[in-house]
A = this chain, B = another copy of it.
Amino acid sequence: MNKSRIEAFSDGVIAIIITIMVLELKVPHEADIHTLLPLLPVFLSYVLSFVMIGIYWNNHHHMFHAVRHVRGGVLWANLHLLFWLSLMPFTTAWMGENHIESVPVAVYGFVLMMSGIAYYILARALIRLEGADSALAIAFGKDRKGRISVVIYAAAIALAFLSPWIAIGCYVAVALIWLVPDRRVERVLLAAHPGQAPPER
């Protein structure tokens, strides 16, 4: 089965998720600059979620680039990931509108954690198809980054009840870990196809 259509569908869903989040930035009814201030937590939540979903899109892009074909199970593992990501506009808006309180921040972290787990399941399903000695399997390896992220999310959910800001700090930390796209995949792929251009920087 061709992988291009699963990529196109994922692109569509992720593009919509990343864009409808901005609809939560409710237009103020006055023209005063001060009316933007109460929107600041909503805006910052939007920036964080935009980066998070950007990370997923980038890694999804890298991962499928290393894949040669897909099958039934992968379609569902991919839909499972998209399901959790589709809840991000809701959790982002809830967190932003309540000016960073414990429960919404913890729920936000829960959806991030489930997305992380779903991504891991998808990666495993793809590696099972590609084979243990495939470029993807070698590149993915033990997936230390993915495991650490899920652990940090779990901790952040608990810590949100101590202070929501510590939890937010954890989410930002995970974002920073991932902001570098999955170079592992890129590096191994390049070793396999040395004709391609070397990784940037």
- A73 at interface, CB cutoff 8 A: yes
Contact present for A72 and B8 (CB under 8 Å): no
Q: Are A24 and B22 neighbours in the complex by a CB distance under 8 Å?
A: no
List residues of chain B with CB within 8 A of the CB of A24.
Answer: 27
Residue of B11, B29, B30, B97 near A27 (CB, 8 A) is B97
Docked Cα-Cα span, A83 to B13, in Å, equals 17
Partner of A9, one of B11, B79, B102: B11
Tell me, yes or no, whether A132 is within 8 Å of chain B by CB.
no
A173 at the binding interface (Cβ < 8 Å): no
Could you tell me how many residues of chain A have their Cβ less than 8 Å away from some Cβ of chain B? 72
Among B20, B27, B36, B72, contact of A93 (Cβ-Cβ < 8 Å): B27
Q: How distant is A115 from chain B, measured CB to nearest CB, in Å?
A: 14
Q: Bound complex: CA of A199 vs CA of B69, how far in Å?
A: 12
Query: Would you give the 0/1 interface string for A83-112, flagging 1 where the beta carbon is closer than 8 Å to chain B?
Result: 100110110011001100111100100000
A14-B9 in contact (CB<8A):
yes
Across the interface, A89 reaches (CB within 8 A) one of B22, B30, B71, namely B22
Say whether B13 contacts A199, CB under 8 Å: no
Q: What is the bound-complex CA distance between A200 and B13, given in angstroms?
A: 25
- The answer to whether residues A72 and B15 also contact, given A22-B86, A89-B22 and a CB cut-off of 8 A, is no
B16 and A75 within 8 A (CB): no
Contacts of A129 in B (CB 8 A): 197, 200
Jot down 8 A-B pairs with beta carbons below 8 A, ordered by A.
A2-B65, A5-B61, A16-B20, A29-B97, A31-B103, A57-B79, A71-B200, A74-B200
